[in-house]
Amino acid sequence: MSSNRTAAALLLLAAASFGWDGPVQAGAPPTTNAIADVVARVQPSVVRIIVVHPPEKPQATDNKLAQAAESEPVSKIGSGFAIEAPGLIATNRHVVENSISIFVGTADGGRYRAQIVGMATKVDIALLRIDPAAHLPVLTFGNSDGLRAGETVIAIGSPFGFDNSVTAGIVSSVNRDIMESPFDDYIQTDAAINHGNSGGPLFNMDGQVVGMNSVLFAPGAGSAGVGFAIPSNDLHFVLERLAKYGEVRGGMLPIRTQQVTGVMADAMGVPVSGGALIASLGPEADRMNGQIQPGDIITRFNNEPVTDPRELARKAATLAVGSRAVLDLYREGKVMSVDVPILAIEGA
């Protein structure tokens, strides 16, 4: 027996002696059973949203059958999930807006009429209420700020009407700006998301909601592995406001901002990274008493760093209208702090 074969035999003997089944890779993905265990716990809280829309406007045509078909109400399918108080269901705004009736189908075969509690105008989130007698198990929110690219996530929903469909993948990226709103902070995932998944939850491996599946990017009708979810920290804030007020009542600063790029910072001689450059002032800027000016770079908000304009907008939106915030500014080579009021977002 050659020395190589002898070494291999000794290694196999040692493995058998110590009960070794093979190499264990650090950071190996969860097993199918681990995902199945999470799904078994959370699936009863995921619901189907059936939305009836008004008839589509008839087209000018001589085909009476086509006109009759176009005069019928249109039903569409989305997803949602039970949160906090009994009877409250979270979903996307685009799933339920412009509807004439809404129904919620549960995993046990129940069907309930739902009412809209409130819809956010600036982000794609809505809150529904069904009969409190439907005591669905509620889900808990995880901390989406802690998500990292590469983490395993699970999506559950009703793609193309197939209820309780489960897909799994990873977080592809975080803080994605897809130009949907001034607050974009989307989680990108390769977990398959298709039409009908909108409003459904995205889970981490602890069974916590870390996002709401909302946007599908695909060249055709199906998933191409590029989906986007609203982060749970944003969800939780908006849903709390909708439950309490029926609207978000978000705050804002009366400014238009843009990202401070490395090239821009070098050209301006700015020794800071990130931040939000004030490009112009809005119509209510007179309420700032001249404390902020175009060209200022906001680097901190209430002593928290500002990495980009979208983060600044999110921070302002979470404060009560009429409250005040301290901004750290970089202006013409000087660092200063100013105290400014938080104004109401129009239409929020």
pLDDT, mean over the chain: 85
Query: Concatenated DSSP letters for 47-108?
Result: EEEEEEEPPPPPPS-S-HHHHHHHTS-EEEEEEEEEBSSTTEEEE-HHHHTT-SEEEEE-TT
Most confidently modeled range among 23-32, 92-101, 124-133, 215-224: 92-101
Indicate the SS3 state at residue 316: helix
Bridge partners, residue 165, by sequence = 157
224 has a pLDDT exceeding 90: no
Pairwise CA distance, residues 335 & 23, whole Å: 55
Every domain range in the chain assigned CATH 2.40.10.10: 40-129, 144-245
227-277 per-position pLDDT tens digit: 999 999 999 999 999 999 999 988 999 999 998 887 887 777 777 678 899
Total length of the chain: 348
19-46 per-position pLDDT tens digit: 333 333 444 566 668 999 999 999 999 9
Pairwise CA distance, residues 135 & 145, whole Å: 30
Topology classification of domain 40-129 = Thrombin, subunit H (2.40.10)
Q: What is the predicted pLDDT for the residue at 7? A: 40
How confident is residue 67, by pLDDT bands cut at 50, 70 and 90?
low
171-208 per-position pLDDT tens digit: 999 999 888 888 889 999 999 999 999 999 999 999 99
Every domain range in the chain assigned CATH 2.30.42.10: 251-344
Q: What is the predicted pLDDT for the residue at 174? A: 95
How confident is residue 348, by pLDDT bands cut at 50, 70 and 90?
low
307 or 151, higher pLDDT: 151
319 has a pLDDT exceeding 50: yes
Q: What is the predicted pLDDT for the residue at 347? A: 56
Residue found under tokens 């939850």: 201
209 has a pLDDT exceeding 50: yes
How confident is residue 4, by pLDDT bands cut at 50, 70 and 90?
very low
Topology classification of domain 144-245 = Thrombin, subunit H (2.40.10)
How confident is residue 220, by pLDDT bands cut at 50, 70 and 90?
low
Q: What angle do CA 240, 322, 93 make, to 5 degrees?
A: 35
Pairwise CA distance, residues 206 & 150, whole Å: 15
Please list, in sequence order, all residues whose beta carbon lies within 8 angstroms of the beta carbon of residue 63, skipping any fewer than 6 positions away.
none
Q: What is the predicted pLDDT for the residue at 170? A: 97
How confident is residue 210, by pLDDT bands cut at 50, 70 and 90?
very high
89 has a pLDDT exceeding 60: yes
Please list, in sequence order, all residues whose beta carbon lies within 8 angstroms of the beta carbon of residue 74, skipping any fewer than 6 positions away.
52, 53, 54, 55, 56
What's this model's pTM, rounded to 2 decimal places? 0.81
Taking residues 124-128, report their average pLDDT. Answer: 97
Q: What is the predicted pLDDT for the residue at 296? A: 92
105 has a pLDDT exceeding 90: yes
Q: What is the dihedral angle through the alpha carbons of 269, 273, 279, 282, rounded to the nearest 10 degrees? A: -140
Topology classification of domain 251-344 = Pdz3 Domain (2.30.42)
279-317 per-position pLDDT tens digit: 999 888 888 888 899 999 999 999 999 989 999 999 999
8 has a pLDDT exceeding 50: no
List residues with catalytic annotation.
94, 124, 198
Pairing of strands 276-281, 255-259: antiparallel
62 or 287, higher pLDDT: 287
Q: Would you put residue 249 in left (φ > 0), alpha (ψ -120 to 50) or beta?
A: left
